[in-house]
Amino acid sequence: MQAFQVPAFDRPASLTETDVPPPGPGQAAVALQACGLNFADLLMMKGSYQDTPEPPFTLGLEAAGVVTELGDGTKGFAPGDRVAVFGGSGGLAEAGVFDAAQLIRIPDAMSFEHAAAMQIAYGTSHMALDHCARLQPGETLLVTGAAGGVGLTAVEIGKLMGARVVACARGADKLAAAKSAGADHLIDAETGDIRAEMKALGGADVVYDPVGGEQFTAAFRSCNPEGRLLSVGFASGDVPQIKANHLMVKNLSVMGLYWGGYLAFRPEVLTGSLAQLMAWHGAGRLKPHISHVLPLDRAAEGMELLRSRKSTGKVVITIADL
């Protein structure tokens, strides 16, 4: 089969011919149809992501496809089942073998492209806003990086949960994408003063931040008393440092979320969240924004779209004819 692999951390990823392994006990083989790209893929290419395998390995954290074979003792699935896969790696290939716990059935009406785009971005935003921050109707939610893969879903879900959503992104095109996802107010990160504009809007009750750096600092300073700040990534490359005395004076809470980590200690929270998201999608209440769809032989181009921040929402790689 063909797979987009990292041969070594000092060498570029490329399309490689490799063997298809058989499924072991508790595993399923999946003919992959689509794979969603994530910023974490870029970090894994450099070996700087927290869950990076040893090279050589196949990139692609989340994918979707059809179960083709089950290993001994594997229960809950059957050949022919349409599934979404959170494998942590292995999604950018024509086939893969995954633990059954990493699979979730998808509705017949859901496209493989949407299934491959939903898990990490929507899952992160829903768990952050619902499980962690307990976002309430009528509260003001500030989303930084609001046109990115996770930021755009936070805008959409925040609006669905009844919040007043303020989207912060760079440039008119990205702000337009955030507006179409439901944002009530827009802040241009290139020219705007986040703190001043948020203060004029009455401050933030919840901040959703996948960016870090100066935007996190400005958002932190714009929080209302008892504000909750969600740290879900550092796309700027700058991990902010937080002064505990400032937390105390304003009674603020800062929470980190690593979505995939819940599989290890509270998988029911993650699977329950995904079930809710699938139900919302089936009811037409969620509409994944995919700015680029590319074939597997253009996976490197898809990675460059992420690196150069030229995409909005998700970039999806198609692996077979859909």
Residue ranges of domains in the chain, CATH in brackets: 2-119+261-318 (3.90.180.10), 136-257 (3.40.50.720)
**Per-residue pLDDT tens over the stretch 260-284:** 889 888 989 998 999 899 999 999 9
Integer Cα distance of 5 and 60 in angstroms: 9
Integer Cα distance of 211 and 216 in angstroms: 7
pLDDT at 322 over 50: no
pLDDT at 163 over 60: yes
Predicted local confidence at residue 43, as pLDDT:
92
Q: What is the dihedral of CA 121, 192, 187, 289, to 10 degrees?
A: -40
* pLDDT top residue among 263 and 184: 184
Predicted local confidence at residue 321, as pLDDT:
56
3-state helix, strand, coil in the chain (%, to 5): 35, 30, 40
Pairing of strands 314-318, 27-36: antiparallel
Q: Quote the pTM value.
A: 0.88
**Per-residue pLDDT tens over the stretch 38-86:** 999 999 999 988 889 999 999 999 999 999 999 999 999 999 999 999 9
Predicted local confidence at residue 10, as pLDDT:
84
